[in-house]
Structure 1
Amino acid sequence: MTADRICVGAIAGAFGVHGEVRLKSFCAEPRDIAGYGPLTTEDGTRSFTIRLTRPVTGGLGARLSGVTGREQAEALKGTTLWAPRDALPSLPDDEFYHADLIGLEVVDTGGRVLGRVRAIFDHGAGDILEVVGKEQLLLPFTRAVVPTVDLAAGRIVADPPDTDE
C-alpha cells in the first residue's frame, strides 16, 4: 500500500470465453470502481481501463483494456486493482478510508500506547479495529470507543471497554 494509491478491487477470475473478468469491488458503491480512471496492479507494472458489463454472482462482470481471451483473464485472478488517491472522493470529517487507518498508532485516553492498527474488519455490525502491540485488541470503531482519529498526527485515541470484570 502506498499513500498515493488505494486498493479499490480485485480480479476474482475469468467470466465467459472472451476475456471478461469477475471483478470484486471494494468501493462503497461497487459500480464506482469503473469511474476512477485507469487502475493499476499493485506493483504498478500494468494499467487497465475498466468497462463494467453486468452484475455476476459475487461481483461485477467487466472488460479490461488489453485482455481479449479467457486465458489472459484467468491469469489475472487474484490481482488487486489500485486507484490514484486523488481520484477518490473526499469524505466527511467522521468517515475514513480503511487504508488511512492501517498503521496508525493507537493510544488510550491517558496517552499510553496500545499498539498500531493492523487491520479493519467489517462483519456487518460495524467496523472493528485490530490493534497490535503488547497485546492484540479488537476495538469497535464507534465514537464511544474511538473518540479521536487524528490523521495529521498519525494517531488514534481509544477508550477500550474494561475487560477486568
Structure 2
Amino acid sequence: MTDRVCVGAIAGSFGVKGEVRLKSFCAEPDAIATYGPLTSEDGATSWDVRITRSVKNGFAARLSGVSTKDAADGLRGARLYAPRDKLPELVDDEYYYTDLIGLTVLDTGGTELGRVKAVLNHGAGDLLEISGKSLKQPVLLPFTQAAVPTVDIAAGRIIADPPDGLFE
C-alpha cells in the first residue's frame, strides 16, 4: 500500500482570477478540501485547497500559490494526492482503488486470470480492468460481490467468479 492516495484532479482553470476546476474522487466530494495539504503525483508540490463553490462536474477551488489564470491552466490534468493517514477508515468490503491496482486475479479454481491494471467507474458501477499474458486484450470485470467474492489485500490477490465467457 502507498502512503498517498489520489483524491482528485485539476480539470483546468475556472475564471480569470486563478481558481481551478477541481474534480473530486472522494465518496463525499467536498471532503477533498479536508485532507490537505494535497500534493502532486511526484510529491514535489503541495497545495492547501479551499473550495469556493460547486460547478458542473466538480468544484471551483483556490489552491495556495496559484493566483493567475495561466498558473491554473498550467495545472490542467494534475492529479492530487492526500496522505493515507488523513483519509477515513474504511469498513469491511470497501477499498481504495489504489490498493486494488496490481493485485493478482485468480478464478475460484486458483488459476491466474491476470492482474488489476485499473479500476474504472463510468457511472454504472466499478469495473476492474484485468490484463495478463494469456489475454489478447484487457478484460473488464464487474466489481460486484457476485463476480468478485474475495479481496485479500494482505495476500495481494482477488478471487473472481467471472460471468461465463468473459475470459475466453
Bucket of the pairwise TM-score, normalised by the shorter protein: over 0.9
Name the SS of the counterpart of 2:124 in structure 1. coil
Instruction: Output one character per residue of 1:78-128: Cα deviation in whole Å (capped at 9) or x when no partner.
Output: 111110111111111111111110110000111111110011122222211
**Displacement of 1:64:** 0.6
Q: How far apart, in 1, do the equivalents of 2:11 and 2:122 lie?
A: 20
1:42-81 alignment, distance < 5 Å: 42-81=41-80
* Residue number in structure 2 paired with 1:126: 125
Residue in structure 2 matched with residue 99 of structure 1 by the alignment: 98
Kindly tell me the number of residue pairs found equivalent between the two proteins.
164
Cα distance in structure 2, aligned partners of 1:25 and 1:160? 30
Aligned twin of 2:111? 112
Where do 5+ consecutive residues of structure 2 fail to align?
A: none
Q: Letter of the aligned partner of 2:105 in structure 1? A: V
Structure 1 stretch displaced more, 87-96 or 119-128? 119-128
TM-score by length of 1: 0.94
Counterpart of 2:142?
140
CA RMSD between the two structures: 1.6
Q: Give matches, 1:16-31, under 5 Å.
A: 16-31=15-30
Q: Which residue of 2 aligns with 1:159?
A: 161
TM-score normalized by the length of structure 2: 0.92
Deviation at 1:18, TM superposition (A): 1.4
Taking the aligned partners of 1:64 and 1:109, their CA distance within structure 2 comes to 47
Percent identity of equivalent pairs:
65
Taking the aligned partners of 1:31 and 1:104, their CA distance within structure 2 comes to 29
